[in-house]
Amino acid sequence: MRVLGLDPGSRRTGFGVVERSGNRFACITRGAVAPRAKLELPQRLHEIASRVGEIIEQTAPECVVVEKAFYHESVHSTLVLGHVRGALLVAAVARGVPVAEYSPREIKMSVVGNGGATKEQVAFMIRRLLDVRDALQPDAADALAAALCHLHRARLTAPARAVSVAAERLAGLLARNGRR
């Protein structure tokens, strides 16, 4: 399974693609979309959405994970972050890719084991879990962490889904045989 993680930001939006094969995880690509600082917000949003759309088309993820917004002391910053998240959601949905969302606390808990982990701790674990040896930008580390969080959760919920499908089939068989 291949997942694109996104760490939204109006100045820098981190991205990272992680692929799971069996029990192994690999970083396919990572980086940040950084529109020119002098652009007005609508133009920055357009540039972010366009570039993320290109990344989706190039990497063909099965799911896009967008970090949920957290609340800043600045209402303006929270609103701008919401606009960026909206642009990212539209970029994914327009290309027919399912979207998952996790809070920063959920992501840190999944990757580090501590929902209050620092950015340095997240980056350290991403380096170890994905065997990243060269420079790792904080935005890209957070995006890779979001993708990894989803892959961890998908592994945990897949057996439950399989059990529920099996249970539904069994219930159907029993109902047909009048043994319910």
- Cite the active site residues: 7, 67, 139
Rounded to whole angstroms, the Cα distance separating 56 from 64 reads: 8
Phi, psi of 72 (to 5 degrees): -90, 165
Number of neighbours of residue 60 by Cβ within 10 angstroms: 11
Kind and range of the H or E element at 133? none
Q: Between the CA atoms of 164, 166, 168 and 174, what dihedral angle is there, to the nearest 10 degrees?
A: -140
d(CA 141, CA 176): 52
Cβ pair 13, 137 in contact under 8 A? no
How many C-beta atoms lie closer than 10 Å to residue 45's C-beta? 20
> What residues pair up with 26 in beta bridges, in sequence order?
19
Which residue type does 33 have? V
